[in-house]
Amino acid sequence: MSIKALIFDVDGTIADTEETHRQAFNAAFLEHGLPWDWSRREYAELLRTSGGKERLETYIDSLGLKAQERTRLLGMVQLIHASKTRNYGELIADGRAPLRPGVARLIGEARAAGLRLGIASTTTSANISALIGAQFGADAWNWFEAMACGDVVANKKPAPDIYTRALGMLRLPAADCVAFEDSVNGLKSAKAAGLYTVVTPTIWSEGHDFRGADLLLSSLGDAQAPLQGEDARLAGGTCLTLARLRQLHADAQRSAAA
């Protein structure tokens, strides 16, 4: 089957957002008088938990607090997260999260070829809207026919729910689509939904086990940041083009059917 749609994770996949998220969380902690300051190393571990509110709950549970204090803080999660979301939007508007190499190029190729686009992200729709608007323009929201966000599914990644929802919104089978991810949880989610999956890790997920990926690259590549070495061999050039992706996807479909 040919590719009919590309479905993108957002944080870490479309743009380098995780440092911006970390800063937004820390600003929210100050706002609410909490003596927390997540370091990069600490946040990298917390990223193993999908979803911002879930990340906060995991952190609170790790503090070994007395029951009354734990309950109080857990009761603040929604409020803290709302502050963090506002902070994040302000930082994104200032251009704090650049697109990853090749993302704009490949999305442009897909749109020119008439492919459909979707989002499958555990972040909130507000965060996605802020990033898409800042990087692609206000009208870009309409480019994506499926917006499956973390606030509309019961089970977040690595569960397949978010991708199953995106496929349902597109009304396409998994075999007709390609997923783009940067994390192990995202990879597991996409593969559980039956999708051919391209993984481009970031500094936050380097060294994780991505053996289940159909294609593993350092980035999608572009003229300013061309792929080299093994990445270039796998991508068939200095960037992953739509034509090369179609070839790899078709090869995988034939192999699966054999």
Residues 200-211: tens digit of each pLDDT: 999 888 888 999
Q: Is 105 strand, coil or helix?
A: helix
Print burial letters for 138-153: b (CB count within 10 Å at least 16), e (below 16).
Answer: eebeebbebbbbbeeb
Q: Is 9 a residue of the active site?
A: yes
Q: For residue 173, how many other CB atoms are within 10 A of its CB?
A: 12
Q: Is 63 exposed, middle or buried (0-12, 13-18, 19+ CB in 10 A)?
A: exposed
Domains detected in the chain: 5-16+98-257 (3.40.50.1000), 18-93 (1.10.150.240)
User: Which of 11, 161, 214, 222 is an active site residue?
Assistant: 11
Please state the rounded mean pLDDT for residues 14-23.
92
Q: Which of 15-29, 126-140, 162-176, 219-233 has the lowest mean pLDDT?
A: 126-140
Q: How confident is the model at residue 112 (pLDDT cuts 50, 70, 90)?
A: very high
Q: What is the pLDDT of residue 87?
A: 95
For 255, the 3-state DSSP assignment is helix
- Any idea what DSSP says for residue 140? G
State mean pLDDT over 99-127.
Answer: 94
Q: What is the pLDDT of residue 138?
A: 81
Q: Is the link from the previous residue into 101 a cis peptide, with omega within 30 of 0?
A: no
Instruction: Note if 139 is an active site residue.
Output: no
CB within 8 A of 94, min separation 6: which ones?
none
* DSSP 8-state class, residue 100: P
Among the listed residues 9, 161, 182, 222, the single catalytic one is 9
